[in-house]
Amino acid sequence: MENVALLERFEELVKVQPSRELKEFLDDQLITDIAELIYEAPDEAVLIMNNLTLGRAAAAFRILEFPTQEDIIKALPAARTAELLNELPPDDRTAFLEELPSQAVQELIKLLHPEERKVTLSLLGYPENSVGRIMTPDYIAAKAHWTVAQVLQHIRMYGRDSETIDVIYIIDNEGKLLDDFRIREFLLVSPDTPVESLMDDRFVALHVNDEQEEAIQVFRLENRVALPVLDNQGVMLGIVTIDDMLWIANEEHTEDIQKIGGTEALDEPYLDMPFLKLIKKRVGWLVVLFVGEMLTATVMTYFEDEIAKAVVLALFVPLIISSGGNSGSQASTLIIQAMALGELSTRDWWRVMRREIFSGLMLGGVLGLVGFARILIWNHFFHTYGEHTFLIALTLGVSLIGVVLWGTLSGSMLPLLLKRAGADPASSSAPFVATLVDVTGLVIYFSVAYLFLQGILL
């Protein structure tokens, strides 16, 4: 209801001239409400951005989705665009520019002040998906020979331009990081305390070329609001803050979910993705999976004679395929999620395998027992499976143990193998694992059938 009322009031004020009331109205709203208003009234986005104070316009712009940001920049006058881009924090500006075509980036960079242009080009020069792309050079640094009073005075003078003042970094004359302090550590001691007397030379830092996913794990383990970024010589280049990490983590999570579902990662919101581009993202995996499933027909052709002799075996093929695929997809999803959370790595492969062997045997045993009992009970009432019902039930039960065991092992090991090979573990999507287990599951099923029914039905 609040959003509806907000939109209605905004539409009323848009009709009022002059726009003084509109400016006051927009300045009274939360930044998140401004962003929601832009999404609700996209045609008025430029009007909204022009009537916000520059700082609030930049704050709203930085939390919008990229397609909306791009539409706004295209529609804004050049002068307002220049003001907005120069007002944005360097990391947010870089994140926006790296999504644009190179020609557009070149034109927009010309609008930046010389110092901001230098910073932006520096950040864009780091590898894609590296920590360097998302760091900001706006931080508070102090010297070891200062007193706490000098540090606090320095914060008062320059803290307004810093990304955060929660953490203060101690550097030497060459810019090398010596230590870091939470602001509360300075507030709780005497003002005349020398900084060097508080130092313990222990700090956690990121390297400028570290992968962003690795940085997420460091933030999670260290429970920090900001981390320094260093080069090979230990010189401090900037900081990465927790809000950037939350944004990256959300993007990575979304990308992994899409890959697990058997599609390429979408680089735009679903409803904003051009139809043909969306089809292109989905058709590749579908073709691969379809070709893989065709191997199922090949396997069944290989066992054609056995099926002809014992048609009853064909009745349980869907059951075997679904059980193996489900167990494999289940294991794959659990392992990918655990790897994404940093709960396990490739070094833990043996612990995972050992755990999944026992899990596969237990799960397969439960399903096998259910399948075994179902055949016997069904045949008791409807006499469906003939005089060799017990052997058929035994075949199905043992096959389910083998298929589910193979499914859990495949689903758990494939992400680890991909990670070891330097690929994205999420590429071992649930549909991919299911297809793999479908084919091999049939081989297991008919092999067990041949073992138990040779000379009887086969």
pLDDT, averaged per 10 consecutive residues of the chain (458 residues), comes to 70 71 85 90 90 92 91 91 92 89 87 89 88 90 94 91 89 93 92 93 91 87 89 92 83 67 62 73 70 74 74 86 87 84 86 93 94 91 84 93 94 88 71 80 90 80
Is there a single domain that holds both residue 60 and residue 152?
no
Nearest to 322 by CA among 387, 204, 407, 416: 407
Residues 437 and 410: beta-carbon distance below 8 Å: yes
Beta strand pairing status for 167-171 and 141-142? parallel
Is there a single domain that holds both residue 319 and residue 406?
yes
- How confident is the model at residue 397, as a pLDDT? 94
Is there a single domain that holds both residue 117 and residue 145?
no
Is there a single domain that holds both residue 56 and residue 90?
yes
Residues 424 and 402: beta-carbon distance below 8 Å: no
Is there a single domain that holds both residue 242 and residue 360?
no
For 210-264, strand residue ranges (E) read: 226-230, 236-241
- How confident is the model at residue 383, as a pLDDT? 81
Is there a single domain that holds both residue 226 and residue 202?
yes
357 found inside a domain: yes
Q: What is the CA radius of gyration of the chain?
A: 30
Is there a single domain that holds both residue 239 and residue 328?
no
Domain boundary among 220, 249, 278: 249
Residues 22 and 48: beta-carbon distance below 8 Å: no
> Per the structure, how many domains does the chain have?
3
Q: Return the structure tokens found at 219.
A: 């933030």
Q: Tell me the C-alpha to C-alpha distance, in Å, between residue 59 and each of 53, 83, 260, 310, 438.
A: 10, 13, 34, 70, 51
Is there a single domain that holds both residue 8 and residue 116?
yes
68 found inside a domain: yes
User: What does DSSP assign to residue 129?
Assistant: T
154 found inside a domain: yes
Domain containing 159 — which CATH number? 3.10.580.10
Domain boundary among 180, 215, 249: 249
- How confident is the model at residue 396, as a pLDDT? 93
Between CA 37 and CA 68 the distance in angstroms is 12
Is there a single domain that holds both residue 382 and residue 326?
yes
- How confident is the model at residue 1, as a pLDDT? 39
410 found inside a domain: yes
257 found inside a domain: no
Between CA 282 and CA 270 the distance in angstroms is 12
Is there a single domain that holds both residue 350 and residue 276?
yes
260 found inside a domain: no
Between CA 104 and CA 399 the distance in angstroms is 59
205 found inside a domain: yes
Domain containing 434 — which CATH number? 1.10.357.20
178 found inside a domain: yes
Phi, psi angle pair for 443, to nearest 5°: -60, -45
Is there a single domain that holds both residue 243 and residue 392?
no
Domain containing 78 — which CATH number? 1.25.60.10
Nearest to 38 by CA among 17, 15, 59: 59
Domain boundary among 125, 156, 191: 125
Between CA 342 and CA 219 the distance in angstroms is 11
Is there a single domain that holds both residue 169 and residue 41?
no
Between CA 165 and CA 163 the distance in angstroms is 7
Q: Tell me, what amino acid is at 407?
A: G
Domain of 68 in residue numbering reads as 2-125
How wide is the angle at C-alpha 376 spanned by C-alphas 373 and 379, nearest 5°? 140
Q: Tell me, what amino acid is at 225?
A: V
